[in-house]
């Protein structure tokens, strides 16, 4: 499986087109029009040369060039490589969701995951998908995160939103708000704290990360007046983590924590549910934010926005988030290689025959 990259090597980045009618293909054309990207990584685009040619023409972009390859063995360094993941003719209808859009996005994702598992690419960057049109045989998941967690099982995976100086993770994922409280346990929160600590150390190079844990209720429960989840579930998890040597603090009321700027003093933040963490994150770092799935044996990032159907083809969408996702995937691959090399025991201990 991919992951054991040399920290001096140029990373081979697999990038899925995402929805062919969404913003993903357009952003890929614009990003890889810049020749400087060839110095950052070797990209392998999973999707369709016809789709990319369509958007290149629609954008009147003469700078974007690519090489179509038939297999992973033909990857060319310093070139934008494209692997066709389907043969059928499909209608490209920018800005319009369609069954074909979901089907093609899934085919690209399947192909990229296979090559990632086989070690032909080092990291995966996923383009935006339409979660509704993606629902089909083989993909019955709320999103990429849950699908990848099944494809690459681990003891604990974690959705982490990454900005320039902001890293926000969530205990629960894509579930209804009414189910959040029942989904929280002390053991689960402790496990997520540990997973966040591990990724901050291994993937972000932070030696002793400081982690802030948010409460569930307004004002973190006001000592039980508004709710008791903080006292009964969250605080015991924080205490246990701290006793095990992790620098975890809280629980903090989310509004005051972000409003006062307290988030700036922590390396990572653990929110209890999706919107509690993602609303402030996207307010602070929407255009450049990146979604990173931590805790998996592989490295996967994505832009933190959706298909943006309403602005496809208008040339006004920012490519910052997708470009940042590519940069982050490469950075994590290098840091992980360095961390794993430093953590490995190079000499296996063996007792000398004369020792007693």
- Which CATH number is 100's domain given? 3.40.718.10
Pairwise CA distance, residues 64 & 28, whole Å: 9
Q: Where are the alpha helices (DSSP H) in the chain?
A: 24-31, 49-58, 99-118, 144-151, 180-183, 186-202, 229, 235-243, 254-259, 274-285, 320-343
Is 60 exceeded by the pLDDT of residue 220?
yes
The answer to whether the pTM exceeds 0.85 is yes
- Of 256, 278, 294, the residue that ends a domain is 294
How many helices and strands, by DSSP H and E, does the chain display? 11, 12
Residues contacting residue 98 through CB under 8 Å, at least 6 positions apart: 21, 91, 133
Backbone angles phi, psi at 213, to 5 degrees: -110, 125
The predicted model gives 337-356 an average pLDDT of 65
Instruction: Determine the Cα–Cα distance for residues 344 and 197; give it in Å rounded to an integer.
Output: 19
| 33 shares its domain with 59 | yes
Given phi > 0 = left and psi -120 to 50 = alpha, else beta, which region is 308?
A: left
Inter-residue contact 91 to 104 (CB < 8 Å): no
Per-residue pLDDT for 354 more than 80?
Answer: no
Residue 6's pLDDT is 52
Domain assignment present for residue 349? The answer is: no
Phi, psi of 221 (to 5 degrees): 90, -15
Query: Within 13 Å of residue 111, how many CA atoms lie on the same side as its CB?
Result: 24
Position 351 in a domain: no
The pLDDT of residue 138? 87
Q: How far is CA 338 from CA 135, 164, 199, 204, 205, in A?
A: 38, 21, 13, 11, 9
Instruction: Examine the pLDDT at 347 and tell me if it is beyond 70.
Output: no
> Is pLDDT at 177 greater than 70 in this prediction?
yes
Same domain, 39 and 143: yes
Bridge partners of 161, per DSSP, are 168, 291
Residues 126, 268: one domain?
Answer: no
Percent share of the chain, pLDDT over 90: 79
Alpha-carbon distance of 60 to 239, in angstroms, equals: 58
Task: State yes or no: pLDDT of 322 exceeds 50.
Answer: yes
Clarify whether residues 72 and 214 are in a common domain. no
Residue 289, domain extent = 155-294
**Average pLDDT taken over every residue of the chain:** 92
Q: What is the rounded average pLDDT of the residues 249-277?
A: 96
Q: Is residue 349's pLDDT more than 80?
A: no
* pLDDT at res. 72: 84
Q: What is the pLDDT of residues 282-317, one digit of tens each?
A: 999 877 899 999 999 999 999 999 999 999 988 899
When mean pLDDT is compared across 67-76, 312-321, 346-355, the lowest value belongs to 346-355
Q: Kindly state whether residues 171 and 234 are assigned to the same domain.
A: yes
What is the mean pLDDT of the segment spanning 175-195? 96
Q: Does pLDDT of 259 surpass 60?
A: yes
Q: Are residues 320 and 226 in the same domain?
A: no
Both 146 and 167 in one domain: the answer is no
Is residue 350 situated within a structural domain? no
Q: How confident is the model at residue 11 (pLDDT cuts 50, 70, 90)?
A: very high
Confidence of residue 345 (pLDDT cuts 50, 70, 90): low
- The mean pLDDT value for 208-236 works out to 94
Say yes or no: 28 and 128 in one domain.
yes
**Is a pLDDT exceeding 50 seen at residue 38?**
yes
The residue-averaged pLDDT of 183-204 equals: 97
For position 225, what pLDDT does the model report? 87
| Shared domain check, 261 and 338 | no
* Residue 178 domain flag: yes
Do residue 159 and residue 34 come from a single domain?
no
Report the pLDDT value the prediction gives residue 346, as an integer from 0 to 100.
Answer: 57
Distance of alpha carbon 328 from alpha carbon 102, whole angstroms: 26
Higher pLDDT pick, 344 / 176: 176
What residues pair up with 301 in beta bridges, in sequence order? Answer: 125, 292
Tell me if 92 is assigned to some domain.
Answer: yes
Band of residue 224 on the pLDDT scale cut at 50, 70, 90: confident
Residue carrying the six token digits 């470009």: 323
pLDDT per position as a tens digit, 43-71: 999 999 999 999 999 999 999 999 999 98
When divided into structural domains, the chain yields a total of 2
pLDDT of residue 243: 97
Are residues 6 and 150 located together in one domain of the fold? yes
């Amino acid at each position: 499986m991919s992951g054991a990259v040399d920290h001096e090597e140029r990373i081979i980045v697999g990038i899925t087109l995402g929805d062919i009618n969404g913003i993903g293909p357009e952003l890929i054309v614009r990003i890889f029009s810049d020749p400087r990207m060839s110095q950052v990584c070797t990209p392998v685009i999973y999707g369709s040369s016809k789709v990319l040619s369509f958007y290149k023409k629609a954008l009147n972009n003469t700078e974007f060039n690519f090489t179509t390859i038939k297999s992973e063995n033909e990857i060319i360094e310093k070139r934008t490589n494209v692997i066709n993941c389907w043969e059928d003719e499909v209608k490209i209808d920018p800005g319009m969701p369609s069954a074909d859009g979901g089907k093609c996005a899934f085919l690209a994702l399947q192909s990229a995951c296979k090559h990632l598992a086989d070690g032909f690419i080092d990291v995966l960057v996923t383009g935006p998908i339409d979660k509704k049109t993606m629902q089909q045989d083989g993909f019955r998941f709320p999103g990429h995160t849950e699908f990848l967690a099944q494809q690459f099982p681990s003891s604990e995976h974690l959705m982490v939103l990454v900005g320039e100086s902001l890293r926000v993770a969530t205990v629960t994922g894509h579930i209804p708000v009414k189910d959040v409280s029942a989904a929280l346990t002390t053991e689960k929160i402790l496990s997520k704290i540990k997973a966040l600590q591990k990724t901050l150390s291994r993937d972000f190079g932070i030696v002793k990360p400081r982690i802030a844990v948010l409460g569930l209720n307004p004002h973190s429960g006001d000592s039980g007046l508004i709710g008791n989840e903080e006292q009964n579930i969250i605080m015991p998890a924080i205490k246990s983590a701290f006793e095990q040597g992790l620098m975890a603090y809280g629980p903090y009321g989310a509004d005051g924590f972000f409003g006062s700027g307290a988030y700036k003093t922590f390396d990572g933040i653990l929110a209890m549910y999706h919107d509690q963490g993602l609303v402030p994150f996207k307010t602070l770092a929407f255009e450049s934010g990146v979604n990173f799935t931590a805790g998996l044996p592989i490295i996967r990032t994505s832009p933190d926005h959706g298909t943006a159907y309403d602005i496809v083809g208008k040339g006004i969408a920012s490519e910052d988030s997708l470009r940042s996702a590519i940069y982050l995937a490469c950075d994590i691959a290098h840091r992980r290689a360095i961390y794993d090399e430093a953590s490995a025991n190079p000499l296996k201990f063996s007792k000398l025959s004369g020792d007693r």
